[in-house]
Homo-oligomer: A and B are copies of this chain.
């Protein structure tokens, strides 16, 4: 058995070295690589994925994983996790022919660049053909599995083990029933909230300095990661000791930058606090998109849009931007950063309407995967849904269907985890509050007890537990979206002075 475990660890390390390279290539591509680099990069990624595939998808590896799986109960926690993660990967990969798998990596490298150009020029036609190819490859890959389960159910499960359209429908229906009437009440009865000071110009250098200050204050280990800049903010990890987040600076949207930085720092803390003993490994990373998003949303919203938090940090923000903020009270600032405004851009959405943006993507993905839509119809479907759910219509594709990077990278089935993450976050915070005086910690700007709780119950496990296990063990109950809808109603009724 020891010999088998050694083989597993050697395989894991080798595969992880390709993962490391791919992560760095992606980070580089999205932050600084020159335009012309795209073709050779696509060739290189194709070559690397061939190495990965050839080393992984072999009868020997299959038999190794199966044998270890038969003796699962004899294995230690980390090894169990590796077997589970690699078997899942094996299963979804083995059915895809090697050449198609390599070609898909090359395709995605190109489509990401096309998306970036299309977004810049607000021209969907630049991206349409490559998106079409990404969609059809994705469908084909799912179909190769030969399972009698709807495509999109399988995709949801890939990102969030156990999630199905049936469950997601229940969750979204519940959210819709909470958010839509609440939004209506806010618009009809809510008090006016002043936020003109947030719309003023804040210089980029100051935003950068405050972003770096914030990261460190939240517990980001500054010698184990960097803050970069990209069109769309993201977090990527080469290892727990090299976790990179990006943000983007817009002069008239300071609070959006800061919220992004806090959000990505939430992701980063998860990665930086994975058990050190796991080393470079498939288990040394967050377990699911939903749990990951719960960490980022918790920092962004539950902490980063709370009054307690800003009682500590508003004075610091004022030091950075005295001119713009000198006469702003804590109460006024708190309300301003929680203004509810139906808007077009997901990443700029307020906490309340955010899930509506996700619902739109969820419904589109359901249709894309279940039907044979013409890719050229997608912008119109997108715009119609925005009009129907949020009440406003994008004027161009840049502020419409082109706003998110995900589809260009083949990430479909991923969006629902964003909404799920917000709901998990509230459930976690509820459990945490039984052991930690969260408001006090926020008022003190002392993230040690908060991060200690998160590390103990969530972060350190990396991918060795499933999302369900994490939720159950950390909160004592399975996923319960009620915490989230209650939280939304309480918070926004209070912000808008509704009785």
- Given the contacts A36-B223, A242-B33, A44 and B16 also touching, CB distance less than 8 Å: yes
State whether the Cβ of A41 lies closer than 8 Å to any Cβ in chain B: yes
Which residues of B sit under 8 angstroms from A279, Cβ to Cβ? 40, 43
**Beta-carbon contact of A280 and B14 below 8 Å:** no
**Beta-carbon contact of B47 and A13 below 8 Å:** yes
Which residues of B sit under 8 angstroms from A43, Cβ to Cβ? 13, 16-17, 279-280
Interface hub of A14, A44, A280 (most chain B Cβ within 10 A) = A44
Which residues of B sit under 8 angstroms from A48, Cβ to Cβ? 17-18, 21
- The chain B residue with its CB closest to the CB of A15 is B47
State whether the Cβ of A28 lies closer than 8 Å to any Cβ in chain B: yes
Which residues of B sit under 8 angstroms from A33, Cβ to Cβ? 226, 242
State whether the Cβ of A239 lies closer than 8 Å to any Cβ in chain B: yes
- 0/1 interface trace, chain A 368-412, chain B, CB 8 Å (1 if under): 000000000000000000000000000000000000000000000
State whether the Cβ of A160 lies closer than 8 Å to any Cβ in chain B: no
State whether the Cβ of A46 lies closer than 8 Å to any Cβ in chain B: yes
Which residues of B sit under 8 angstroms from A51, Cβ to Cβ? 14, 17-18, 51, 55
Chain A, range 106-142, C-beta contacts under 8 Å to B:
none
Number of A interface residues at 8 Å Cβ cutoff, please give it: 41
Inter-chain CA distance A278–B231, complex, in Å, is 32
- Given the contacts A21-B21, A35-B223, A47 and B241 also touching, CB distance less than 8 Å: no
Interface hub of A16, A48, A242 (most chain B Cβ within 10 A) = A242
**Beta-carbon contact of A44 and B241 below 8 Å:** no
- The chain B residue with its CB closest to the CB of A40 is B239
Helix, strand, loop or mixed for chain A's interface?
Answer: helix
**Beta-carbon contact of A40 and B241 below 8 Å:** yes
- 0/1 interface trace, chain A 25-56, chain B, CB 8 Å (1 if under): 10010001111110111011111101100010
**Beta-carbon contact of B242 and A34 below 8 Å:** yes
State whether the Cβ of A238 lies closer than 8 Å to any Cβ in chain B: yes
State whether the Cβ of A24 lies closer than 8 Å to any Cβ in chain B: yes
Which residues of B sit under 8 angstroms from A25, Cβ to Cβ? 21, 24
**Beta-carbon contact of A36 and B242 below 8 Å:** yes
Task: Find A241's partner among B16, B18, B36 (CB 8 Å cutoff).
Answer: B36
Which residues of B sit under 8 angstroms from A36, Cβ to Cβ? 221, 223-224, 241-242
Task: Find A225's partner among B34, B224, B242 (CB 8 Å cutoff).
Answer: B34
Cβ of A68 to closest chain B Cβ, rounded Å: 21
Cβ of A183 to closest chain B Cβ, rounded Å: 42
Task: Find A238's partner among B41, B50, B224 (CB 8 Å cutoff).
Answer: B41
Cβ of A426 to closest chain B Cβ, rounded Å: 32
- Given the contacts A28-B28, A238-B40, A17 and B46 also touching, CB distance less than 8 Å: yes
Which residues of B sit under 8 angstroms from A39, Cβ to Cβ? 239, 241
**Beta-carbon contact of A34 and B280 below 8 Å:** no
**Beta-carbon contact of A242 and B40 below 8 Å:** yes
Cβ of A447 to closest chain B Cβ, rounded Å: 19
Which residues of B sit under 8 angstroms from A50, Cβ to Cβ? 14, 17
State whether the Cβ of A303 lies closer than 8 Å to any Cβ in chain B: no
Cβ of A398 to closest chain B Cβ, rounded Å: 22
6 contacts between A and B (CB under 8 A): A16-B47, A34-B223, A34-B241, A35-B224, A39-B239, A40-B239
CB-CB nearest 6 A-B residue pairs: A17-B47, A40-B239, A37-B242, A20-B44, A21-B21, A36-B241
